[in-house]
Amino acid sequence: MRSAGRALVAAAVLAAAVPGAAAFEGNVNVFAGQKWLNKSDWEPIEKQPELGILFAFGETRAPIHFAIDVFHATDKTTTDVTGVGAVDVEGTTTEYSLGVRKFFRRHAITHPHLGGGATVASGELRLENSGLGRIESDDSAFGLWIDGGITWRLAKHLNLGVEVRYTRYEFEFGTIFLENELKGGGFHAGALIGYGW
- CATH code assigned at 11: 2.40.160.20
Q: What is the pLDDT along the chain (197 residues), one digit of tens a residue?
A: 555 555 545 555 455 554 444 588 889 999 999 999 999 889 899 999 999 999 999 988 777 999 999 999 999 999 887 777 888 999 999 999 999 999 887 677 888 999 999 999 999 988 888 877 888 888 999 999 999 999 998 988 899 999 999 999 999 886 545 556 889 999 999 999 999 88
Q: How far apart are CA 76 and CA 92, in angstroms?
A: 9
Closest CA to 120 of 184, 174, 163: 184
Per-residue pLDDT, 156 = 84
Residues found in the chain: 197
Q: 189 CB contacts (<8 Å, ≥6 apart)?
A: 33, 34, 162, 163, 164, 165
Determine the structural domain holding residue 69 and report its residue range. Answer: 2-196
Answer yes or no: are the C-beta atoms of 150 and 164 closer than 8 Å.
no
Q: How far apart are CA 137 and CA 7, in angstroms?
A: 23
Domain count, the chain: 1
Q: How far is CA 25 from CA 2, 7, 17, 51, 87, in A?
A: 29, 21, 11, 24, 49
Answer yes or no: are the C-beta atoms of 63 and 103 closer than 8 Å.
yes
Answer yes or no: are the C-beta atoms of 189 and 48 closer than 8 Å.
no
